[in-house]
Amino acid sequence: MNIQQLENQINEVIKKDKELQDLKNHQREILIEKSKEFEEVITLYLKKEVKFSHPKYQLKTIIGPIMGVQEQKVFIYHPTEKRVYSMYLGETFEDSVPVSWLELINEGHFENAIDGFNYLIDMQADYLDFYNKEITKLKQQIEQSK
């Protein structure tokens, strides 16, 4: 490889790095818009003291929508602060650490965060389905015990 080829490669790497950063910034803007889009829903959940959950994780919290989980670390959107916090399972919010949207994206949680916001709409239907099945099961058990 000669010096010109190396320079061309370096220029290509610089170009690709900028493209990657632009895409991540676009993802950040999407997440900010999602947080605004779901602000009223989140407020209702908080008012009714409904726990937030996520379709991919067996976890619930009263703080806000779950944006992702990585090993024992949970990323949660805090609606009052309008930002993401990370905390370890079993810790309180006082132990949490603020995380930028870009940090969340860099940890690979863009799609999880989108799912966390979107699940706010389907969550109650899933809860109703669960409760209906449990009620039916218990009624059947009671009926069979007679």
pLDDT digits (tens, 9 = 90+) for 59-118: 999 999 999 999 899 999 999 999 999 999 888 888 899 999 999 999 999 999 999 999
pLDDT digits (tens, 9 = 90+) for 8-50: 999 999 999 999 999 999 999 999 999 999 999 999 999 999 9
- Return the bridge partners of 52, or none: 61
What is the distance of C-alpha 34 from the center of its chain? 11
CA-to-CA separations, 76 to 17, 83, 119, in angstroms, rounded: 28, 8, 14
pTM over 0.85: yes
Closest-CA residue to 75 (of 120, 49, 34, 113):
113
At 16 the three-state DSSP class reads helix
Number of H helices, E strands in the chain: 4, 6
- What angle is formed at CA 118 by the lines to CA 120 and CA 79, rounded to 5 degrees? 60
- Return the bridge partners of 54, or none: 57
> Quick one: pLDDT at residue 95?
87
Show the tokens assigned to 91. 């810790």
Indicate the angle between helix axes 39-47 and 3-37, nearest 10 degrees.
50
At 11 the three-state DSSP class reads helix
